[in-house]
Amino acid sequence: MASIPNQDELRLKKQVRTGFTDRRQDAMEAKKKLLEKMKAAPKPDDPEMIAKRAERAAVAEARELRRAERERLKLEEQERKAAEAKAAEEAAYAAANADAIAREAEEKARAENAIAEMAALKEKRDKRYAARKARR
């Protein structure tokens, strides 16, 4: 059993009413329906609307908290990476300078040995000089 379509459906299927007054009347009816729809909409002080606003505010606050948490984690990650990079740089610097420090220590030891040898030679020379003076 097929249902009989109402006038609006017929009007959509067949553009029978195409005159100016028909279009004007259709526009007025559309405006009336829109106005009725707006009047039927809940008012801002309606408890349902207040609850929806509160829910939206809670969702927005939770979103902001999640964004702040992401930002904090990102900042911590950047700080951690910077600290790792600094530690790696210091280790590389220490490794590079370890050779230089070792060379300096070796040169210092060589210089001390040279001074000790020179002192030993001077002591020998002084003993020879003293012996020569003693023989005279």
Quick: pLDDT tens for 26-42. 899 999 999 998 887 77
> Are 61 and 53 contacting, i.e. CB atoms less than 8 angstroms apart?
no
On whether residue 1 sits in a domain, the answer given is no
Task: Report the candidate in 94, 116, 95, 122 with the shortest Cα–Cα distance to residue 108.
Answer: 116
Same domain, yes or no, for 100 and 131? yes
Find how far residue 71's CA is from the centre of its chain. Answer: 6
In a domain, 127, yes or no: yes
Answer yes or no: is 78 within a domain.
Answer: yes
Q: Is the pTM of this model over 0.75?
A: no
Please give, one letter per residue, the 3-state secondary structure of 9-62.
HHHHHCCCCCCHHHHHHHHHHHHHHHHHHHHHCCCCCCHHHHHHHHHHHHHHHH
Residue 6 DSSP class: -
Do both 50 and 27 map to the same domain?
Answer: no
Give pLDDT, residue 1: 45
Residue range of the domain that includes 52:
42-135
Using one digit for the tens of pLDDT, what is the confidence trace for 62-106? 999 999 999 999 999 999 999 999 999 999 888 888 888 888 899
R_g (Cα) of the chain, nearest Å: 50
Kindly state the percentage of the chain with pLDDT values over 70.
88
pLDDT in the model for residue 23: 85
- Asked if residue 115 and residue 56 are part of one domain, the reply reads yes
- Are residues 98 and 65 both part of a single domain? yes
Helix (H, G, I), strand (E, B) or coil at 62: helix
Report how many domains make up the chain.
2
76 and 34 belong to one structural domain: no
82 and 129 co-located in one domain: yes
Enter the tokens of residue 80: 């951690």
| Highest averaged pLDDT of the listed ranges 5-14, 38-47, 49-58 | 49-58
